[in-house]
Structure 1
């Protein structure tokens, strides 16, 4: 699993193009402030392990990053451009749902960007140490 995490002052999206037929219909966007924005790509090798073990590793990384940036907000964004290898849609969606639930159980405010869409993004991210972290989990 590859993860690029950014601390954002402000982030917003609008659905642009649906690229997954099974995705639910989404017409509106959303806006967030003072949060961790996680660009996540689950890889084929992740499916060799139980989704729960991959989710736990992801959540631990996100919680650490959030603490370092003094926030309790995390946005999960599926971003299949960090590796040539891709996990199945079902595995990835399950990973995101489980991670979101674990984060909420730990007192975090969470959101997921619409799965199966290309999105128009606006990102305001400050440039300081630990504001951007890449990881191979």
Structure 2
């Protein structure tokens, strides 16, 4: 799993284009009405996450715990409890299945929420228009190969 994390003063998105079929979207959203097509966050950790094929061999529980712990560490370093997960399939040539990726992101989000973090996931299966304000200081950008 590859993770590029930004501390963002502001992160806003709006869905621009659906890049999965409705059937594929149904894996992540059993009820298609659940999709929040726009959002805005402030003072949050924004994690661009590439789940890889090799992660499937280790299982959701192992991978979501590793991801959540990494994100909590970055959040503590940046003095925030707000974490946004964004599936970003451009950090590696290896890609996990849609179902595994969806399950992992949901499980990591739940783990973070259970740990008193405000955690959310950007819309899965959409290209997004993004507006991001990311300051330049140590620990504001962290790369992880988990």
Normalised to the residue count of structure 1, the TM-score between the two structures is 0.97
Residues 7 and 141, structure 2, Cα contact 8 Å, conserved in 1: yes
Write out aligned runs for 1:1-137 (5 A). 1-21=1-21, 22-23=24-25, 24=32, 26=35, 28-137=37-146
Report SS of the residue matched to 2:124: coil
Separation in 1, partners of 2:36, 2:117: 26
Q: Which runs of 5+ in 2 are unaligned?
A: 26-31
Aligned-residue CA RMSD (Å) = 1.0
Separation in 2, partners of 1:123, 1:115: 18
The alignment covers a number of residue pairs equal to 137
Report the Cα offset of residue 28 of structure 1.
Answer: 2.9
Report SS of the residue matched to 1:96: helix
Report SS of the residue matched to 1:36: strand
Normalised to the residue count of structure 2, the TM-score between the two structures is 0.91
Report SS of the residue matched to 1:122: strand
Report SS of the residue matched to 2:6: strand
Separation in 2, partners of 1:49, 1:92: 13
Q: Which runs of 5+ in 1 are unaligned?
A: none
Residues 43 and 82, structure 2, Cα contact 8 Å, conserved in 1: yes
Report the Cα offset of residue 50 of structure 1.
Answer: 1.4
